[in-house]
Amino acid sequence: MGTSDATTTTTVDELVRAHGAGLLRYATGLMNGDRAAAEDVVQETWLRAWRHLDRLTEQQGSVRGWLTRVTHNIAMDQLRARRCRPAEVAWSELDTERVAAPHDPAHEVEDRIVVAELLGHVSELHRRTIHEVYFSDLTAAGAAATLGVPVGTVKSRVFHALRSMRTQSAAFAA
């Protein structure tokens, strides 16, 4: 480290000692009491002060004024950027019960096995109707046309088949 680097470090240290606490209070107010955000703002201010150390002399104007203006500008930039982003939520505030579980193909296979087993407990007519409506993705009218029965019959079969499957599922779970 050369002499100019040592002078630079000393000068920045002196600035931090002289103005650090005041800038942090100012930034905290600008950032609506968010101390972590204020610390980020002040840290960025020190980085800019280090980069423009040649401008920070009392002969060219107030050092405190320059630091305050830079702090203000950085805080305003960050507040503007926040408005453009969705609100941040702390991990502790997340409702993990409502967060969707990651897709797991093993659960999908397990569900298919359970559904196949439950379908084995309903009549052939009900099984065919369920297949047309849920697996062939037909509407009640489309399934009625395919099966050659009225729409009301399709709806009735689906209702009774699902009720039977729910009852069987509850019996398996118990």
The verdict on residue 71 lying in a domain is yes
* Lowest model confidence (mean pLDDT) among 3-12, 41-50, 93-102, 139-148: 3-12
Q: Are residues 129 and 70 in the same domain?
A: no
Query: How many CB atoms are closer than 10 A to CB 24?
Result: 18
What DSSP string runs through 113-144? HHHHHHHTTS-HHHHHHHIIIIIS---HHHHH
Q: What is the mean pLDDT of residues 79-98?
A: 76
Q: Are residues 121 and 146 in the same domain?
A: yes
Query: pTM of the full predicted structure?
Result: 0.47
The amino acid that residue 99 corresponds to is V
- Cα distance between residue 121 and residue 157, in whole Å: 14
Q: What are the tokens at 167?
A: 């009852």
The domain of 146 spans: 105-173
